[in-house]
Amino acid sequence: MPGTSATSIRWSAYEHEHIERSIDWFWALGIVAISVAIISILFSNLLFAILIIVATFTIGLLARTPPELIEFEISHRGIRVDDRIYRYNDIISFWVEDEEGPPLLLVDTTKFMSPNLIIPIENIDPHLVRTFLLAHVKETHMKEPVSHKILEFFGI
């Protein structure tokens, strides 16, 4: 349930938009993967063929799995994504993308394993999020990474 107070902004959103895939999509994924695996075997690259098959199986499983509902909070301590908090001293900059598509909060962090956060903003005014964060972090224009758009295409 979304909520705002003088000290925090809270909301929930799905980690990504779930797209129901038809059986034809899975057939196409399998045919392309098997074709690439056969070509890599013909070029004596068995390891790459195995990697393609494992990656395809993983993509197929993830495309069928519905997204989780994630809790977000922006407070004086930092940005919380479920149970993980990103403190302001670990955040380099942010950008609220509300021009194209659904609003997103893009966050650039110093964290090695998760340097960029792409947070969907739902049921909260994006300008409120921007105003709250401007008091703590600098705003820098950013775009959603192409890799994230590709993963969303596959439903991951």
Taking the C-alpha atoms of residue 100 and residue 86, their distance in angstroms, rounded to an integer, is: 26
Look at residue 91 and give its three-state secondary structure.
Answer: strand
Ranges in the chain, pLDDT < 70? 1-6, 153-156
Of the candidates 132, 126, 129, 105, the one whose C-alpha atom is nearest the C-alpha of residue 117 is 105
CA distance 156 to 61: 9
Confidence (pLDDT) at 1:
47
Q: What does pTM read for this prediction?
A: 0.71
What CATH code would you report for 3-16+69-145?
2.30.29
Beta bridge mates, 24? none
- Cβ(62)–Cβ(154) under 8 Å? yes
Alpha-carbon distances, residue 74 vs 24, 37, 141 (angstroms): 41, 45, 19
Q: Which residues pair with 72 in a beta bridge?
A: 11, 81
Query: Could you read off the pLDDT of 52-93 as tens digits, one per residue?
Result: 999 999 989 988 888 889 999 999 999 999 889 999 999 999
